Structure 1
Amino acid sequence: MLRPILIHPDPRLKKLADPVTDLSDDLRAVASDMLETMYDAPGIGLAAPQIGLSKRLIVLDCVKAEGEAPRPLAMFNPEVIASSDETSVYEEGCLSIPEIYAEVTRPAEVEVRWMDLDGKENQEVFTGLWATCVQHEIDHLDGKLFIDYLKPLKRQMITRKMVKLKRERAREKA
């Protein structure tokens, strides 16, 4: 089931998400809905706060090559346990900040620990686009958006654009 994606500014996007303490079938269904919503958007990552759910849950799939099998991941309580000193710069976008892109510098490599859909603990080192995406999504769980890495003036400009976009969308629905 497709879920509506919150658009910045929304106070729910700035809150610290709650840890997942009980991996219920309902939460597994939410993860499935989030993957469907992410692919439909289309995007490569989505965090539970973006659909209005304050839980530490993210989904991602950074496979972009034609003909390569998708690799959907659902991560409960993901945390970066190690990151490289080396950094990389990617032009990031966000489903909660549509059609806005900006370069963000992050660690080039991160090791992440999370619980999967079966409740098993996983650990993996991510590089390249995967590293950027997983850090971007974990930021959402901490109430941080990619525009928070930008200079204040640029951030304010983007926020004003999003307020205008939300007004236009509200008018279209009326």
Structure 2
Amino acid sequence: MVKEIMKDLLFLGQKAETATKEDIAIAKDLLDTLAAHKEHCVGMAANMIGERRAIIAIAEGNELTAMLNPVIVKKSPRTYKTTEGCLSIPGEREVERHEWVEVKYRDINWNREKRKFTGFEAEIIQHELDHLEGKLV
């Protein structure tokens, strides 16, 4: 189900709680909401739809991927500066990102996954993980 985008900065500033298998429905709502905004959005965190759970969704080309309890286990030593915007917060902000990240997470079927992401997908994941930490980016 497509959900309304959360814009309350106090809510968005709270750290996410660990997702459980029962939160897969939230992950599906997050994927639906990302799909509805795909023309101008490439990633979302669950707090952006009003859910304080550690769940993100990203666009990988035409594919949408949900990650429950994502954690970066390795990251590139090299970083770069870029400017990012967000559906929940007006404007753009400068941030520093790693060139690649390796992430472990549960997929939409609650299977364990571990993948390396580079380039723009790595940037999207880092942005969404900031949301899960309550960082307003």
Structure 1 length-normalised TM: 0.72
Equivalenced residues, count: 135
CA distance in 1: counterparts of 2:54 and 2:32, whole angstroms? 18
CA distance in 2: counterparts of 1:54 and 1:139, whole angstroms? 13
| 1:4 positional shift | 0.8
- In the other structure, the counterpart of 2:48 is 50
Q: Report sequence identity in percent.
A: 36
Q: After the TM superposition, which residues 11-50 of structure 1 pair with which residues of structure 2 at under 5 Å, given as runs?
A: 11-20=10-19, 22-24=20-22, 27-41=23-37, 42-50=40-48
Instruction: Verify the 8 A CA contact 2:26 2:51 in the aligned structure 1.
Output: no
Amino acid at match of 1:108: E
| 1:37 positional shift | 1.3
- In the other structure, the counterpart of 1:77 is 69
Which contiguous aligned blocks of 4+ residues in structure 1 show a shift greater than 3 angstroms?
A: none
Query: Structure 2 stretches of 5 or more lacking a match?
Result: none
Per-residue CA distance 1:92-122 (angstroms, 9 max, x = gap): 1111014x22332211111111011111111
CA RMSD for the aligned pairs? 1.4
Instruction: Verify the 8 A CA contact 1:62 1:129 in the aligned structure 2.
Output: no
Which stretch of the first structure deviates more once superposed, 40-49 or 135-144? 40-49
**Per residue, is there more strand in 1 or in 2?**
2
CA distance in 2: counterparts of 1:124 and 1:2, whole angstroms? 27
- In the other structure, the counterpart of 1:3 is 3
